[in-house]
Amino acid sequence: MVDFAGWEMPVDYGAVVAEHLAVRTAAGLFDVSHMGELLFEGAGSLSLLQRLTPNDVSRLAVGQAQYSAFTTPRGCFVDDLILYRLGDSSYLAIVNAANVEKDLDWVESHRRGEGEVNDVSDDYALIALQGPRAQEILGSLTPVSLAGLKYYSFVTGDVAGQEATICRTGYTGEDGFELLIPSEGAEKIWRRVLEEGGPLGLRPAGLGARDTLRLEAKMALYGNDIDEQHTALEADLAWMVKLDKGDFIGRNALARQAEEGVSRKLVGFEMVDRGIARNGHPVLLGGQTVGPVTSGSFAPYLKKSIGLSYLPPSAWSPGSEIEVDIRGRRAKARVVPTPFYKRNKVLSGAGSSTTIH
Amino acid sequence: MYPDDRRYSKEHEWIKMEGDRGTVGITDFAQRQLGDVVYVELPELGAKFKAGEVFGTIESVKAVSDLFCPVGGEVVEVNQDVVSSPEQVNKDPHGKSWLMVIRVDGATELGKLLTASQYQEFIEKEGSD
C-alpha cells in the first residue's frame, strides 16, 4: 500500500502486468474513491463553470459529461476534471485527489455569488470497471440498459441492489464504466462485480496498472504531463478548448497561442535502444536537452518502453529521432503517433460512439 | 526455499561457486519485492567489478534497482535469455534465470556473505520492518 494524497492505495493486487493485461483482454476493477467530487448547485452554476473551464458547458445535456479543466489566466492547469451535468443547474466535477483543496479555493476565489460549491468527496466512492467485458459484467448486475449508454453519458440506477450513477467513462483506453456510489453501498458493489467478473477474467487492479493503461492511451496525468506551467494547447488538448464559447479564465492567452502556434507540445515517443525511459529523465534533441520525460514506463500490452515529453515543433513528426538520458546513458528513441494504444471498436451494439462533448 | 549450495548478500544477490567461477543471480525475495521484471541490463564480457559495485540494472514496471556484485571478479558469461525475456527472472530466480558468471578473484570475500539460513533470518527481519 502507498500513501496517495492521504489515501491508502494499493499499487497492485499482486502483479501489475497481469492486471494491465486483464483490462485490455477482459476486465479490471479499480477503486478510485480517492478522486475528489465538487458539487456545483443553484442559479448561476452554468455561468460560473463557463468562466472556470475551457470546454463549452452549455453543450452538456443532463446525463452527459465532458472532459475539461480549471485553467489559469495563462491557460495552464489548476487541475483537469470530468464535469457531469446532474440536473438543470446541478453539476459534479470529478477532480484529482491531491488537488481538491486547491480547486475549491480556486473556485471560491472566482465565484461571484453564483450558485453554491461544496466538496462532497467523502460522500461518494468511485469504482472503475474497465475492459472489453465490462458491459457484460455490469449488465448482469443492473436492469439499466447499458448498450444504449453512449461514451461520456451517464444514468443513475440500481447496481447489485445499491443506487449508483453509471458513467461510460474511464482512464484506460478501454470501453468501461465509472460508478459513482454513495459510500455505504460501495463495498457491496465492489464484491458483487468481483464475483460476477471473476469467471470472465476480471481482476482487481491497482494504481500501477491504472498508470500504465492511461499512458498507453495517452491520457494526461496531472502533476506529470499537465500542470500550472504548461497550457492546454501545449498539452495537445486543443479539442477541449472552445475559444468561440465566450470568455473564460485563460481564454486570451490560449487565443493568442492558437494564433501564434505553440513552441512545444506533448508528444509520444518509444525507445529504439534498450532501456526504460522514466519520469524526469532528460530528453535530448540534436544533442541538446529540451526537457524531461513527463511520463515514461514499460508498456505491458505493447511490450515496449514508451513516454511523453514536451518537444519543439522540429520533433513533432512521427519518426523524429530523439535521445533519452537514462541514468547517464544516452539511449535512442523516436517520436510516434499517439495514442500509443487504440482499442478496436466493436461496431454492433456497443453504443459507444466516440463523441466527446 | 533458499538453497544451501550458495551464498547470499544483503543486497539480495546470490553466488554459487564452481571452482573459481561464481554464478550470480537475484534471490526469490528480491524478485517478489520488485514485481514483474520487464528489463535487465547486464555487463559486457570481460568487465571487472569489486565486491559491492554495481554490475547492472533490473527494472520492474514501477521500480528500478541496481544489481550489486557480491564478490570481486571478471565477467566470463552473461545470461542472454533473461536479457531477451526478463519476465523469466520472476519464474526461476535461483535456477535458469541466473544473471552472469564471474571468475572470482576475491575468494576470501565469500566468507563475508550470508549462508542460506542467515539470509532467511535476514529477510524475515527486513520483511517485518
pLDDT for res A346: 57
pLDDT for res B128: 59
Over 60: is that where the pLDDT of A355 sits?
A: no
Mean pLDDT of B90-105: 96
Question: For residue B42, what are the β-bridge partners?
Answer: none
Q: Give the pLDDT band (50/70/90) at residue A17.
A: very high
pLDDT for res A1: 64
Q: How far away is chain B from the Cα of A300, in angstroms, using its nearest Cα?
A: 8
**Mean per-residue pLDDT of chain B:** 94
Distance between start and end Cα atoms, chain A: 36
**Contact state of B61 with A16 under an 8 Å Cβ cutoff:** yes
Q: How far away is chain B from the Cα of A328, in angstroms, using its nearest Cα?
A: 13
Identity at A267, one-letter amino acid code? V
Closest of A332, A314, A29, A312 to residue A159, by C-alpha? A29
Over 90: is that where the pLDDT of A14 sits?
A: no
pLDDT for res A350: 42
Closest of A132, A134, A150 to residue A357, by C-alpha? A150
How many whole angstroms separate alpha carbon A356 and alpha carbon A167? 13
Grid coordinates belonging to A42: 443553484
Specify the length of chain B in residues.
129
Please, which residues have CB within 8 angstroms of residue B125's CB and are 6 or more apart in sequence? none
Closest of A105, A103, A108, A113 to residue A42, by C-alpha? A113
Closest of A20, A7, A19 to residue A301, by C-alpha? A20
**Contact state of B61 with A300 under an 8 Å Cβ cutoff:** yes
Mean pLDDT of A6-35: 90
Of A5-14, A65-74, A312-321, B45-54, minimum mean pLDDT range: A5-14
Proportion of chain A above pLDDT 90, given as a percent: 92
B59 touches chain A (CB under 8 A): yes
pLDDT for res B116: 97
Contact B7, B51 (CB under 8 A): no
Contact A324, A120 (CB under 8 A): no
Over 60: is that where the pLDDT of A84 sits?
A: yes
DSSP string, A175-222: SEEEEEEEGGGHHHHHHHHHHHHGGGTEEEE-HHHHHHHHHHTT---B
* Range B14-21, long-range pairs (CB < 8 A, 24+ positions): B14/B70, B14/B94, B15/B70, B15/B71, B15/B104, B15/B110, B15/B113, B17/B104, B17/B110, B20/B103, B20/B104, B20/B107, B21/B76, B21/B101, B21/B102, B21/B103, B21/B104
Q: How far away is chain A from the Cα of B11, in angstroms, using its nearest Cα?
A: 20
- The ipTM of this complex is 0.86
A297 touches chain B (CB under 8 A): yes
For A2-215, CATH gives 3.30.1360.120
How many whole angstroms separate alpha carbon A78 and alpha carbon A103? 7
pTM of the model: 0.92
Say if domain A263-357 classifies as CATH 3.40.50.150. no
Q: How far away is chain A from the Cα of B92, in angstroms, using its nearest Cα?
A: 16
pLDDT in tens, A130-180: 999 999 999 999 999 999 999 999 999 999 999 999 999 999 999 999 999
Over 80: is that where the pLDDT of A58 sits?
A: yes
Chain A residue closest in CA terms to B62: A208
Which residues of chain B does A11 touch, with a Cβ-Cβ cutoff of 8 Å?
62
Mean pLDDT of B42-55: 96
Mean pLDDT of A268-278: 97
**Mean per-residue pLDDT of chain A:** 94
What is each CA distance from B69 to A328, B43, B111, in whole angstroms? 20, 11, 15
A305 touches chain B (CB under 8 A): yes
Tell me the helices (H) and strands (E) count for chain B, helix number first. Answer: 4, 9
Tell me the domain boundaries of chain A.
2-215, 263-357
pLDDT for res A349: 41
Query: Rg (Cα) of chain B, in Å, rounded?
Result: 13
What is each CA distance from A135 to A147, A148, A197, in whole angstroms? 8, 11, 10
Q: Give the pLDDT band (50/70/90) at residue B1.
A: confident
Q: Give the pLDDT band (50/70/90) at residue B109.
A: confident
B41 touches chain A (CB under 8 A): yes
Contact A244, A68 (CB under 8 A): no
pLDDT in tens, A101-119: 999 999 999 999 999 999 9
